[in-house]
Amino acid sequence: MKISARNTMKGTVTNVKEGAVNNEITIKLAGGDEITSIITQASSNALGLKAGKPVIAVIKASNVMVAVED
């Protein structure tokens, strides 16, 4: 599947924090940055997410904001 979301960044899961409905996934990107994702627990389980698993962070361009230092 090839998706319209403009931003796809490769990384590795470093932590999965389980909630009742949502899980919080921490991903270390290849470039060194860390990114955090909230997805449903059902999706997290369906993808078999756990520390060490190679994944791709996917972000729609309209969900990226830009900031500048004061």
Inter-residue contact 45 to 39 (CB < 8 Å)? no
Binding site for a copy of itself (CB under 8 A): 1-9, 13, 17-25, 27, 29-33, 35-40, 42-44, 46-49, 53-70
Phi, psi angles (nearest 5°) of residue 46: -60, -30
Query: Minimal distance in Å, beta carbon 51 to a copy of itself?
Result: 13
In the complex, minimum distance from the CB of residue 65 to a copy of itself, in angstroms, rounded to a whole number: 4
Cβ(32)–Cβ(9) below 8 Å: no
In the complex, least distance from residue 1 CB atom to a copy of itself, rounded to whole angstroms: 5
